[in-house]
A = this chain, B = another copy of it.
Amino acid sequence: MEMPAPNASIVAGKDRIVARLRAVLPQDAVISDPAETRAYECDALAAYRCAPLAAVLPRSTEEVAATLKVCHEMGVPVVPRGAGTSLAGGALPTADCVILGTARLTEVIETDLDSRIIRVGAGRTNLAVTGAVEEHGFFYAPDPSSQLACAISGNIAMNSGGAHCLKYGVTTNNLLGVTMVLMDGTVTEIGGAHLDAGGLDLLGLICGSEGQLGVVTEATLRILRKPEGARPVLIGYDSNEVAGACVSDIIKAGVLPVAIEFMDRPIIRATEEYAHAGYPDCEALLIVEVEGSPAEIDEQLEIILEIARRHDPVELRQSASTDESARIWLGRKSAFGAMGQMGDYMCLDGTIPVSQLPFVLRRIGELSEEFGLMVGNVFHAGDGNMHPLILYDANTPGQQDLCEALGAEILKLCVEAGGCLTGEHGVGIEKRDLMSYQYAPEDLEIQMAVKDVFDPGWLLNPAKVFPLDVSGARRMAAE
């Protein structure tokens, strides 16, 4: 992935920039020693690395505003960073940028159980939001796999989802308001502890904007009452098409499981060898989980099992205990680890209409053979959020490029099937150049013009989201 050359005069002026930052921030908030800034050289798309000029870790909205004001005045690009778990390179630095980390903004600012809301510092981890309210029987619904580590600010930037979002929605459905600092240091409040917005719904725009519009420092989130219990069922089929049809039928029947996870044969084999979850040897496995009271669980499972049986499953495993439930989930939860054991892998993220599942899976199989790279599919089938994992060997010359080329073909396939380049990982640098495949020039022009409004100097999170050739003129003009 090509990155633009850093601005040499900014790189040369590092000492002056760091001195200006130190003048307005506490001593320990500014990191400039190259040995320490290296910690910020990449995120979870670790194939791309670049140490930043400096990193700043503010403790308050005021300190974020002070940082942005200095960078704005000096024309220094800023890369906002949550916990650095982006799989799309969303927090990748440039050599001329200041990393602005939210890691110290972790406070619980307000909890209002009557209104089912919590307000937290945006650097708080996803799981620690639930941690703050679970003793009262509440939880925060979006659950990315990285929820132990990932920050709410990153969840907002990428509009993150998770396995349990089929029922509860993704971040944008659970976000009520933010405090956001604009590139020039202006502090704005958007949304709040209430429904709807007067005038334009900027909150919807900001959620998923990948650090292009501002830096979110606080967030008001919807919390939900914890259900009494949950129970999964494991269903195996001899073809992806039939498993896909079963998913469609469950959705159509009006039961709303919290999760419908899909694993194909390559994933089943890999996880079985790695985690020994006792999965059957078949083409496709579904884990369908429902939540509620014991009676609600029974009633939903009855409908689901009836549908599953209609499609002649080769396996239908119910759980009667917490242990059995854990075993059903074991393979799914080990899937990424199992693939990692087999080699390097790239995790894609695209979305498609649910009815296109069988077609898309068949085409991915064909593309996998064409490119000679194994692809495993493990994903949130209920809402059409695919996560193809491409296996490759990073040490074999050319394999990384081949893998990226296959990834691009698969994501184009999602777009052709009426879907979208991303579900919850964002565009970042990974899919930047594919945006022109999804969007017409005039669509990209509108998106960039909206960025102009918030960040006229194009200093925020540079060289991401928009193809370089499309955003080139704007970036030049801004320099």
Contact = CB atoms under 8 A, between A and B. Distances in A.
Given A196-B424, A293-B299, A442-B186, A252 B352 contact: no
Interface in A423-479: 423-424, 427, 431, 434-435, 438-440, 442-444, 446-447, 449-454, 465-466
A61 interface: no
Contacts of A204: 172, 201, 203-205, 207
Nearest to A418: B193
A139 to B, nearest CB: 10
A113 B252 CA distance: 7
A434 B113 CA distance: 30
A352 B207 contact: no
Interface in A113-142: 113-117, 137
Contacts of A154: none
Interface in A310-367: 351-356
Contact of A254 (B172, B189, B225, B438): B225
A202 B446 contact: yes
Interface in A150-194: 159, 161, 169-170, 172-173, 186, 188-190, 192-194
A201 B465 CA distance: 12
A198 interface: yes
Contact of A454 (B114, B252, B446): B446
Contacts of A351: 194-196
A93 interface: no
A369 interface: no
A209 B418 CA distance: 25
Given A172-B201, A186-B442, A204-B201, A193 B296 contact: no
Contact of A200 (B385, B419, B447): B447
Contacts of A114: 248, 251-252, 353-355
Contacts of A465: 199
Interface residues of A, number: 87
A393 B385 CA distance: 56
A383 interface: yes
Contacts of A296: 296, 299
A253 interface: yes
Given A200-B451, A439-B198, A353 B418 contact: no
A193 B112 CA distance: 35
Given A207-B204, A225-B253, A418 B194 contact: yes
A402 interface: no
A349 B218 CA distance: 27
Given A254-B225, A355-B115, A199 B453 contact: no
Given A116-B252, A252-B114, A427 B354 contact: no
Contact of A353 (B112, B188, B207, B295): B112
A366 B200 CA distance: 32
Interface string A1-19: 0000000000000000000
Contacts of A225: 252-254
Contacts of A251: 114, 116
A420 interface: yes
Contact of A198 (B205, B299, B422): B422
20 contacts: A112-B355, A114-B252, A114-B355, A115-B354, A116-B354, A161-B196, A170-B196, A188-B442, A190-B443, A193-B353, A195-B384, A198-B420, A198-B421, A198-B435, A200-B212, A201-B204, A202-B446, A225-B252, A293-B299, A296-B296
Interface of A: 112-117, 137, 159, 161, 169-170, 172-173, 186, 188-190, 192-205, 207-210, 212-213, 224-227, 248, 251-254, 293, 295-296, 299, 351-356, 383-385, 414, 418-424, 427, 431, 434-435, 438-440, 442-444, 446-447, 449-454, 465-466
Given A198-B431, A200-B209, A204-B207, 5 more contacts: A137-B254, A170-B196, A195-B385, A205-B450, A450-B450
